[in-house]
Structure 1
Amino acid sequence: MSTTTNASGEVSLWGLFELVLEGPSEGNPFLDVDLAATFRQTDRQIRVTGFYDGDGTYRVRFMPEAEGQWTYETASNVKELDGTTGSVSIGAAKPGDHGPVRADGLHFRYADGTRYINIGTTAYVWNLQGDELEEQTLATLTEAPFTKIRMCVFPKHYRYNQNEPERYPFALLKKGASKWPAKIEDSDWEFDFDRPDPAYFRHLEKRFGELAAIGVEADLIVLHPYDRWGFSRMSPEQDDRYLRYLVARLAAFPNVWWSMANEYDFMASKSLDDWNRMIDVVADTDPHGHLLSIHNGFAPFDYSHKRITHVSIQRPYTERSILWREEFGKPVSVDECCYEGDIAENWGNISGQELVHRFWMGTVNGGYVTHGETYYNEDETLWWAKGGRLTGESVQRIAYLKRILEEAPDEGLDPVPNSSFHRILKKGIDNVTLPELLGPAPGEEDWTPARLQHPTAGQPHRYYLSYFGLNQPREVQVAVPPGERYAAMLIDTWGMTKTMVGEGVERGDVLNIPAKPYQALLLRRISD
């Protein structure tokens, strides 16, 4: 038996400690061998599931969440893996390492308290395209504003996704034979869903590490319906074993999020009871409590589920983020609001300007929005599927929005409730009375935001960001609390410019601005 730590030989806070053990390889160790380790520090203890990595090698991975000395002891149904003990000293986090992202009220925050701004993108199977294209994708992400990528474990069968991957997540077995071929050679084969292929998952781990190095979270889609190989139709027992294996391998990576499915309700073989069971399997197996959610096709999931950490929803109307926040009391990530592109499907042919508009509507309504790009090319290398290069117009504008958010209050932007926009959204235009829409006149003592016509987010008495969207007012009446003075900055969200339009405005002041769409007004409080 032997033990190793990570490749550098150093173990830091939120780093990866790995215990490596040698054990049996005969039979099917994936089914026959149970392995776990308990890590202890004073009165804290964390139980971590181990996994078989092929060729008689077993691994236990641990992501330490506190500095200092930890001890460990293994437990197994195999004698040579049972009772291994040791200790590991955990040092301070490396520069730039903030730990896993957690839900923090209605926003997100790294484990060390640093604010996390969730600006995602989608490239479902970029990690299954071969080294050349995968490395190009990583290079693109290095220059892009995205802090998260939605990606799949399993290969995907769909339009523009017809190529076979270089490797498969489970072993292949010739029917009636005992030899495991490296590739599918003809129709006389089948997958053995009881034998994961460690090489497949090692490659996934490699890409995880590279994403972490450039500050990108991996929102990992563990199941999806777009499948010609049978991965979406495994039995409940096989599903659960796969999930436990996946979590045992990946939970020690700080940048993993669990997305139980892409469009869960398109998977006819899975019931709601199945999804609830599998959510529990993942949450119970993950000792580090990573973010966990599930993505819908038609019907949104019940995100009040106690083990779901945030809303991950598919809807084009990102302005409803304010309502989902109120309904579920969790951070909202609109992870599919249609994609910038030109393919035939309507979900993949909105303009860059429309996608940027949806980003802003989601932002000022308290949510977070995910990007995707589906411009056709002869190689059928569409970013949303395979990664590669980005060619659309939205990315630099999303980067501009990100810079604005980085300069915003550290608490994040919360939508101003009871604005006229919010009242219409919540009640419907036919159910809102005129006094509700207008609110009190400027100058009245009891301030209410009802007079705000446009969606607005910020932090009370400090910072307000209003977005005019498709409207093009030539004048705007300032609606801030009485007696407070603000600097007013006009933002052109498409042109990416800021213009000072008032250096000390108060409630009721009127600002004259150019009449054009896609503008925003930033009000930052100044000394009284």
Structure 2
Amino acid sequence: MKKALFYLLFLLAIKLFAANNNTSYLKNINIEQWEVYDFVFVAKPTMKNPFIVDFNAIFTNEKGEQLTLPGFYNGDNMWVVRFSSSKTGQWKYETKSKIKKLNNKKGTFFVAPITNKNKHGGIVVKPENPQHFYYEDGTPYMQMAYECDWLFALDYKNKKDAPNTKALLDDLEKNKFNQIVTTVYSFGAKWKRDPKLKDYPEYDYSDDLSIYPFLGTNKNPDFSLLNIDYFKQMDRSIAMMNDRNISLHLMIYVWNKLVTWPDANTEADNMFFDYIIKRYQAYPNVVWDVAKEAYERKRCSPKYILERIKRIRKLDVYKRLLTVHEYDFCIKNPESVDIISAQNWSATIYHDMLKVREAFPNKPIFNIEHGGYAESPFEVFPGDYISPEICLRRNYLINFSGTYSTYYWQGTSWYVMIPDANNMPNNLLKPKYEYYKHFVSFFEKYPFQDFSPDTKSNNSGYTLTNNKGVFLMYLPKYNYQASINWQSPFFAKTGTYQWYNTLTGAYSKVFQFKGGHFKNPWYNKADAILIRKH
């Protein structure tokens, strides 16, 4: 009630300030902190390609802080400057362009304090804890990523509504997935289709020639201009993700999904790339990724990636986090990325990721593909591990090395898209999303950003500690018991112990150590975590 009253008084103050200072304010505009708002201007393009027109707006707040945001063409003589801000208070803007009707447009507006308690701003890395993610307001961000390369295709042909996208995002939000790793555009796959897909064509989104970010089609492209409708549909999906606090790990290019791209460094290539940065940088939930599996083709050399990174850094006023889906590039150019992305399928994944973490103490580490692609009704791309339980285990092993992981379900990761898993036919295999709800909930209760790997305590398990008396030891289900180094603080007669079931999210009763061994209560049934508190 008090907050609502404060907000009403704040809006009243805005009106009084405007009246007393004879200032021209934008009408019917309510912007809150971190809200994305489109300032729209009307002008007929004066050149053949409006997508490369130099148009921007300088935003200045009452403290003199400035944001110079690039604008973009949105079709039908409409031009947009997309804005968001972490700073509240009075703002003014002034546009700059060689097009007369776009130049010297001015306005003043207010950014009010955020009223949605679930909104925390963009994703950042704090210098004092650089291997973990936070939101802009300091709230920890326990990243649990979900690959979904064909997200752009869901509801593309439905201009009025997006029921499939809504169903998928609602399901992910409910199960605490908070990042989608996706491509701007993909077309098809080199490998053969599962014959069972013929009976379910509604789930097959590959090779659709009606969807393309340029004019023409993927088969007969016209690189002279961009397809505005494509990006308007993309806006809708990203806004829906932002509303649900699901971040967007956006891979701008992909080389192994049969896309017909313009040649590197051509006007068409630069037009497309720059347009993505101009159009989506204001969304607080965005994380940039230059290309998926960036070394897949000769077209994408390290030199080219470095040039693309420089383009992002120049255009992106908000300085969103940036990475490249290519471990070899990241380890050779760590100063150019904000996140070290690894793609590691090894059986010794815990130890391998631990070494990566130790090699880059000032960067978050993200294993963006760990070879675990959980089985679905259709075999799309099996990788090396398809059991939902084994895929979950690999996520825990990655996190217990102090790094971040991702989840792939073959029913949504590539061209097969089953958006509403809850309403699938009963004869089809459903995903185990609930495993990850438990996963994230556990690391919210024991905040992941407060813990680091402890290799001195464990003999047969994998241990994290917050160095304040709390130890977490992960045991695969084949561990009959936990073997703890008796010289470790973990091994203590004081304090309390408790078991956690990774499959069900259930906790055992709290108990005290009375000698003997810590026997896994779910031996051969479920992986477990032994929790020790001082």
TM bracket (short chain): 0.7 to 0.9
Aligned equivalent of 1:433: none
Judged with a 3 Å threshold, the aligned counterparts in structure 2 of structure 1 residues 399 and 77 are, in CA distance, closer, same or farther, namely same
Q: Name the SS for the 1:118 alignment partner.
A: coil
1:466 to 455, 459, 473: 473
Aligned equivalent of 1:432: none
Aligned equivalent of 2:506: 497
Indicate yes or no: 2:65 matched with 1:33: no
Shift of 1:494: 2.8
Judged with a 3 Å threshold, the aligned counterparts in structure 2 of structure 1 residues 330 and 345 are, in CA distance, closer, same or farther, namely same
Indicate yes or no: 2:335 matched with 1:302: no
Indicate yes or no: 2:332 matched with 1:332: no
How many residues align? The count is 470
Judged with a 3 Å threshold, the aligned counterparts in structure 2 of structure 1 residues 277 and 300 are, in CA distance, closer, same or farther, namely closer
Indicate yes or no: 2:214 matched with 1:170: yes
2:374 partner amino acid? E
d(CA) in 2 for partners of 1:276, 1:236: 16
d(CA) in 2 for partners of 1:11, 1:169: 30
Long gaps (5+) in structure 2: 1-23, 156-161, 194-204, 422-428
d(CA) in 2 for partners of 1:4, 1:264: 46
Q: How does 1:125-524 map to 2 (within 5 A)?
A: 125-130=150-155, 131=162, 133-158=164-189, 159=191, 162-164=206-208, 166-172=210-216, 189-192=220-223, 194-231=224-261, 233-296=263-326, 299=328, 301-302=330-331, 304-317=333-346, 318-319=349-350, 320-328=352-360, 329-338=362-371, 339-341=373-375, 343=379, 345-347=381-383, 350-374=386-410, 385-390=416-421, 391-392=429-430, 394-409=432-447, 411-416=449-454, 419=455, 449=456, 452-469=459-476, 471-474=478-481, 476-477=483-484, 479-480=488-489, 485-500=494-509, 502-503=511-512, 505=513, 510-514=517-521, 516-517=523-524, 518-524=526-532
CA displacement, residues 295-342 of structure 1 (integer Å, 9 cap, x when unaligned): 12x845337533411122221244133222221231112121121116
2:80 partner amino acid? R
Judged with a 3 Å threshold, the aligned counterparts in structure 2 of structure 1 residues 403 and 18 are, in CA distance, closer, same or farther, namely same
Shift of 1:99: 0.6
Shift of 1:345: 4.7
d(CA) in 2 for partners of 1:450, 1:301: 31
d(CA) in 1 for partners of 2:152, 2:121: 23
Aligned equivalent of 1:68: 89
2:497 partner amino acid? A
2:69 to 48, 53, 56: 48
Q: Is the 8 A contact 2:435 2:503 kept in 1?
A: yes
Please identify, of 479-488 and 397-406, the stretch whose mean Cα deviation from structure 2 is larger. 479-488
Shift of 1:509: 6.9
d(CA) in 2 for partners of 1:382, 1:262: 13
Q: Is the 8 A contact 2:345 2:369 kept in 1?
A: yes
Shift of 1:40: 1.6
Q: Is the 8 A contact 2:451 2:467 kept in 1?
A: no
Q: TM-score, normalised by structure 1?
A: 0.81
Q: Name the SS for the 1:309 alignment partner.
A: coil
Q: Name the SS for the 2:138 alignment partner.
A: coil
1:490 partner amino acid? W
Q: Name the SS for the 1:404 alignment partner.
A: helix
Shift of 1:384: 7.0
1:332 partner amino acid? I
Please identify, of 249-258 and 334-343, the stretch whose mean Cα deviation from structure 2 is larger. 334-343
Please identify, of 477-486 and 152-161, the stretch whose mean Cα deviation from structure 2 is larger. 477-486
CA displacement, residues 364-413 of structure 1 (integer Å, 9 cap, x when unaligned): 111111111115xxxxx767753514444542222111111110137433
Judged with a 3 Å threshold, the aligned counterparts in structure 2 of structure 1 residues 229 and 123 are, in CA distance, closer, same or farther, namely closer
Q: CA RMSD, aligned part only?
A: 2.9
Shift of 1:453: 4.3
Q: Is the 8 A contact 1:476 1:513 kept in 2?
A: no
Aligned equivalent of 1:97: 119
CA displacement, residues 150-185 of structure 1 (integer Å, 9 cap, x when unaligned): 11111332145533154321122xxxxxxxxxx78x
Q: Is the 8 A contact 1:373 1:384 kept in 2?
A: no
CA displacement, residues 12-56 of structure 1 (integer Å, 9 cap, x when unaligned): 111123221122324324356210111122242121111111121
Aligned equivalent of 1:110: 135
Judged with a 3 Å threshold, the aligned counterparts in structure 2 of structure 1 residues 153 and 87 are, in CA distance, closer, same or farther, namely same
1:460 partner amino acid? N
Aligned equivalent of 1:9: 29
Judged with a 3 Å threshold, the aligned counterparts in structure 2 of structure 1 residues 303 and 384 are, in CA distance, closer, same or farther, namely farther
Q: Is the 8 A contact 2:187 2:259 kept in 1?
A: no
d(CA) in 1 for partners of 2:374, 2:407: 8
1:369 partner amino acid? S
Judged with a 3 Å threshold, the aligned counterparts in structure 2 of structure 1 residues 398 and 191 are, in CA distance, closer, same or farther, namely same
Shift of 1:90: 0.8
Q: Is the 8 A contact 2:502 2:529 kept in 1?
A: no
Judged with a 3 Å threshold, the aligned counterparts in structure 2 of structure 1 residues 411 and 165 are, in CA distance, closer, same or farther, namely same
d(CA) in 2 for partners of 1:33, 1:55: 15
Q: Name the SS for the 1:499 alignment partner.
A: coil
Judged with a 3 Å threshold, the aligned counterparts in structure 2 of structure 1 residues 11 and 313 are, in CA distance, closer, same or farther, namely same
Q: Is the 8 A contact 2:149 2:413 kept in 1?
A: no
Q: TM-score, normalised by structure 2?
A: 0.80
Judged with a 3 Å threshold, the aligned counterparts in structure 2 of structure 1 residues 146 and 348 are, in CA distance, closer, same or farther, namely farther
Aligned equivalent of 1:119: 144
CA displacement, residues 187-232 of structure 1 (integer Å, 9 cap, x when unaligned): 7x4312x411221111101111111122211111100013445226
Aligned equivalent of 1:22: 42
Shift of 1:122: 0.9
2:281 partner amino acid? A
Calculate percent identity across the aligned residue pairs. 20
d(CA) in 2 for partners of 1:361, 1:147: 19
d(CA) in 2 for partners of 1:5, 1:465: 54
Judged with a 3 Å threshold, the aligned counterparts in structure 2 of structure 1 residues 142 and 302 are, in CA distance, closer, same or farther, namely same
Q: Is the 8 A contact 2:374 2:386 kept in 1?
A: yes
Shift of 1:481: 6.1
